[in-house]
A and B are shown apart, each in its own frame.
Chain A
Amino acid sequence: MSKKLLLKDAHIEGIRYFDVYRKQGGYEALEKALKMTTDEILEEVKTSGLRGRGGAGFPTGMKWSFLAKPEGVPRHLVVNADESEPGTFKDRYLMEFLPHLLIEGMLISSFCLGSNVSYIYIRGEYSWIPDILEEAIEEARNAGFLGKNILGTGFDCEIYVQRGAGAYICGEETALLESLEGKRGNPRLKPPFPAVKGLWERPTVVNNVETIAAVVPIINISGAEYAKIGVGRSTGTKLISACGNINKPGVYEIDMTITVEEFIYSEEYCGGIPNGKKLKACIPGGSSVPIVPANLTLKTINGEPRYMNYESLADGGFATGTMMGSGGFEVLDEDQCIVEHTMTLSRFYAHESCGQCTPCREGTPWMYKILKKIEKGEGTMEDIDLLWDIQRKIEGNTICPLGDAAAWPVAAAIRHFRDEFEWHVKNPELSQKQNYGLANYADPIPATAAN
């Protein structure tokens, strides 16, 4: 049983509301933090080893320590709630069911960073959630935890919610800031980094919803205790949003010491694959991380069990490993077609490319078109090579990571499932009637592979 820090009270009726949240010890971390110095809070966050939960996994304490503090210039905390990575729906869960956890985390973080006006930028499609957040904000204000002179400490903090309007790219922090300034979501060149020139050219920290929520337990139990949970550099707990072909889709909190096998098959988590089907592949960290076949999902290339943490999921690099990413965990069973699935992801990235950089603007629709051609049984062997070539020319050649995010799923699909692509080319008619199936994707990893 994993230790729960964020979702420990999620089952309590009415936890959405201030009174219930407060009864469970809510806002005690804020009371504690307001008696600490800002350096002490920063030290706790650093000690905790907390890493950004949006996908990149950058150490949060380090990010905070980069924040420039020029005299007389306001600073801002911006919470990235533009959750749009396919497979990811954990921040939505936090905001819908535990809005006060986010608000409390924001107040502590704002105090530490010196932000008197902080923003939540939420994806536009989550259109019923701003009401929930704004209600929580008003409740916190009425209780004296938000607004002017919080708890008589002289610290002022306002929190505002802004909705986006349907653009995956706004999850990239500089695109988010552009959008928050009322512009198209075109990512900015870095440097300058947001920590120096962010929102309205002011020093800004942008953090994911789950990251900011995790600050609450860190202050409650101390950074050192938080760091004891988990393993290695994967400290604390992580929310995993599980979807695809599993019996129990949903949001789970794990302490990063369990194996992938346990996560997929145990009753506590995904509860296995429906209808007795077999595991074919898995995308464990949101659609942009490499897809891995069943055998490499459950084990590393060295035959060791694969664990649900940053290091173990990445074991083997992109050749045989994948990434923790955002924790958007998608399971594909033997009936799924890898070509078709990859095609939908490519369509997604083509749709979401902001159009600023040529390799991404031109490359993503080309990948989609070629995948569609292969999927329809009209592809050639050269198309597979062309696809490989295009993804290689996108990766690393764009201002923001959307290019990489679009290239990696295609690269991994060809790397591990090339035989399935070739089968589509060789069997144009048959491939329209049936799927390639499980093939040898679940076979044991050959002993020689370890060498």
Chain B
Amino acid sequence: MSETIAFKPETLTQVQKIIAKYPEGRQKSALIPILHVAQKEFGGWLDVPVMDYVAEILNITPIEVYEVATFYTMFNMQPVGKYVLEVCRTGPCLTRGSEKILNHIRTKLNIKDGETTADGMFTLKPAECLGACGYAPMLQLGKFYHENLTIEKVDEILELCRQGAIKLD
């Protein structure tokens, strides 16, 4: 990496606030929340220099960050598209047609599970139960859930993404 990795000053203030939630000497507890912040600030995934930077901030060894980052599904270890479509496909969503939704997205974007479209816009990431079983089928996009999906609704979401008009945060 040619540029130095560093949080923006306002993000750094946020990070300090997170660390202050835990007793002195227990700053490692802030690791997962800070990795969320880092992933958001540094392009939607956690590159090694980013993880090293987080280790430095928390005064822990890099391996302590790697082993955590690789454990949790929400942390991306590789670059992802601008819009990550996380479509739930566990039992309750299955009973309400999640496979149809997944197939539609696969065909329409011409990507397989886990892949990103050539233009870097979309990544399809099938997900395991997201706790929206009563409002299935559903997908997560950024911070929010899109529920009671139909093929038409999915098309609408994809179109809004293309226009940059979807709320992610």
Contacts and interface: CB of A to CB of B under 8 A. Distances in A.
B134 A287 contact: no
A84 B129 contact: yes
A129 to B, nearest CB: 10
- Using C-beta atoms within 8 Å of the partner chain, give the interface range for chain A: 35 or more
Interface in A378-395: none
Interface stretch (B3-11, B116-124, B135-143): B135-143
A234 interface: no
Contact of B35 (A87, A165, A344): A165
A127 to B, nearest CB: 5
Contact of A165 (B75, B134, B144): B75
A330 B75 contact: no
A239 to B, nearest CB: 12
Nearest to A200: B26
Interface in B124-156: 127-136, 140, 143-144
Nearest to A245: B95
Given A179-B32, A181-B26, A127 B73 contact: no
A140 interface: no
Contact of B21 (A160, A242, A250): A160
B92 A87 contact: yes
B134 A89 contact: yes
B21 A348 contact: no
Interface stretch (A20-28, A182-190, A210-218, A299-307): A182-190
B31 interface: yes
A413 to B, nearest CB: 11
B71 A89 contact: no
Of the candidates B26, B128, B130, B131, the one having the most CB atoms from chain A within 10 angstroms of its own CB is: B131
Contacts of B74: 124-125, 165-166
Contacts of B68: 182-184
A160 B29 CA distance: 12
Interface string A333-349: 10010001100110110
Contacts of A127: 143-144
A344 B91 contact: yes
A351 B131 contact: no
B73 A182 contact: no
Interface in B1-59: 21, 23, 26, 28-33, 35-36, 58
B114 to A, nearest CB: 13
B94 A341 contact: yes
A159 B92 CA distance: 33
A345 B92 CA distance: 9
A352 B72 CA distance: 10
B92 A243 contact: yes
A126 B36 CA distance: 13
A291 to B, nearest CB: 10
B143 A128 contact: yes
B128 A348 contact: yes
B89 A123 contact: no
B24 to A, nearest CB: 11
A328 B133 contact: yes
B71 A185 contact: yes
Interface string A77-97: 000000111111100100000
Interface of B: 21, 23, 26, 28-33, 35-36, 58, 60, 64, 67-68, 71-75, 89-92, 94-96, 127-136, 140, 143-144
Given A183-B67, A330-B91, 14 more contacts: A86-B133, A89-B134, A127-B143, A163-B33, A165-B36, A180-B29, A182-B28, A185-B72, A200-B26, A330-B95, A333-B95, A344-B90, A344-B91, A351-B128
28 contacts: A74-B23, A83-B131, A87-B133, A89-B133, A117-B23, A123-B131, A125-B74, A125-B127, A125-B140, A162-B32, A164-B72, A165-B32, A165-B74, A166-B74, A168-B128, A185-B72, A200-B23, A241-B133, A249-B133, A250-B134, A287-B91, A287-B129, A332-B95, A336-B95, A344-B89, A345-B91, A351-B73, A352-B128
